[in-house]
Amino acid sequence: MRAILSLGFLVMLLAACAQTPDATLTPPAGAVPIRLTSPAFNSDQPIPVEYSCQGSNHSPELNWEGIPADTQSLALIMDDPDAPGGTYVHWVLANIPAGESGLAAGQAAPAGAVQGTNSSRRSGYTGPCPPAGKTHHYIFTLYAVDQVLSLEPAPDKAGLLTALEGHILATGQLVGTYQR
């Protein structure tokens, strides 16, 4: 009986740990969120077809404000947590110069920035392309970083998140939806 109770306690403890967010990937307490917007779509609204695999498949314009003064670079990840096989990464972009206030539609990367590898094993943006049926959510997350990151060439999301550990000053998110 004691072994069963101990095992049950261990399972509950591990489950609680698994649900605890990684403090090294969150901004410091009191950080003001970055305001991330797009003139192409409003938050929690559909992403226009032109930015998907059914259209031109190029990135939408993104704008941001509220970057902390001590920011040395920015990083961007776009992913789809609703993908059938688990989260699908559509875009990884790092070392965006801190002075940038946005990205133009279809802009690959500003000078000095590093394009990462997405779930399609390609560098750059891959637009929404979910299977027919339910609405998918596409989360654009922008990170203000306290340094220019040392990265492997074309890092994937995991590699970028590892490099970001302990260096995030602020974050902002924009969520778009898409359904086929």
* List of domains in the chain: 2-178 (3.90.280.10)
Give the mean model confidence (pLDDT) for residues 62-75.
97
- The pLDDT score that the predictor gives to residue 83 is 95
pLDDT at residue 18 greater than cutoff 50: no
Give the mean model confidence (pLDDT) for residues 20-28.
62
With the CA atoms of 157, 105, 138 and 175 taken in that order, what torsion angle do they form, in degrees rounded to the nearest 10? 110
pTM of the model: 0.86
**Other C-beta atoms lying within 10 Å of the C-beta of residue 140:** 24
Q: How far apart are CA 176 and CA 138, in angstroms?
A: 5
Q: Which residues pair with residue 113 across a beta bridge?
A: none
pLDDT tens per residue, range 37-54: 999 999 999 999 999 999
150, 163 in Cβ contact below 8 A?
yes
Copy the structure tokens of residue 111. 């000078």
H-state helical runs in 39-148: none
- The pLDDT score that the predictor gives to residue 23 is 53
Give the mean model confidence (pLDDT) for residues 120-143.
96
Percentage of residues in the chain having pLDDT higher than 70: 87
Q: How far apart are CA 22 and CA 7, in angstroms?
A: 25
pLDDT at residue 24 greater than cutoff 70: no
136, 83 in Cβ contact below 8 A?
yes
**Average pLDDT over all residues of the chain:** 88
